[in-house]
Amino acid sequence: MALKPGSMREAINNIYQKLIKNETLLRLLYYPPMSARNPDPLSDQLSNLVNPESEEYWNLVDDRIMLAEKTSDLEDRPLCRLYVYAGRRRPVFNNYQLATQEVIINVFTHEYFEKDMRSVWISDVLNEILTLKRISGFGQLEYAGGNPLVAPAGYKQYQHIYRYSDSKK
């Protein structure tokens, strides 16, 4: 089924598409920190991950960038994961035709990945990809704020809130 232009579903899908097609982001979500055994996650020595023709690519995307929050499997293995979902929706100055819509991205990073400040690195890349870009609705996607949140054992969680203006109709 086609996504309705200007819908919240279309906006979240547009954000999701930008995230899953970004090589730097996928490398940071997948490759381990640099060490004596591992090159830098952005090194040319490592394989590129963005390949929509590959089943491994889609397995990686399905495991690392999710549209629904599933934290039950996080404690079983060290990884980095993003959750993308709709946040609050508020009218603009009580105008019945305009609304401000939030999109929330939660970043989960295992402590193993924090050797290179991975959560902050991922957050920087998210802002490069999304902030002040036209995604959906009117205008650009703005960064509205961020908050550290409680995470499962061995993990850090940081919540990023982005906002855009949208028509209510």
- Going from N- to C-terminal start, the domains of the chain cover 8-65+76-167
**Beta bridge mates, 100:** 90, 165
Confidence of residue 169 (pLDDT cuts 50, 70, 90): low
Q: CA neighbours within 13 Å on the CB side: how many for 66?
A: 14
Cβ(128)–Cβ(159) below 8 Å:
no
* CATH for 8-65+76-167 (3.30.450.40, 3.40.50.2000, 3.30.2000.10, 3.40.50.300): 3.30.2000.10
Please tell me the least confidently modeled range out of 90-99, 124-133, 149-158: 90-99
Residue 161 amino acid letter: I
pLDDT score of 112? 95
- Tell me the pLDDT tens digit for each residue of 9-52: 888 999 999 999 999 999 999 999 999 899 999 999 999 999 99
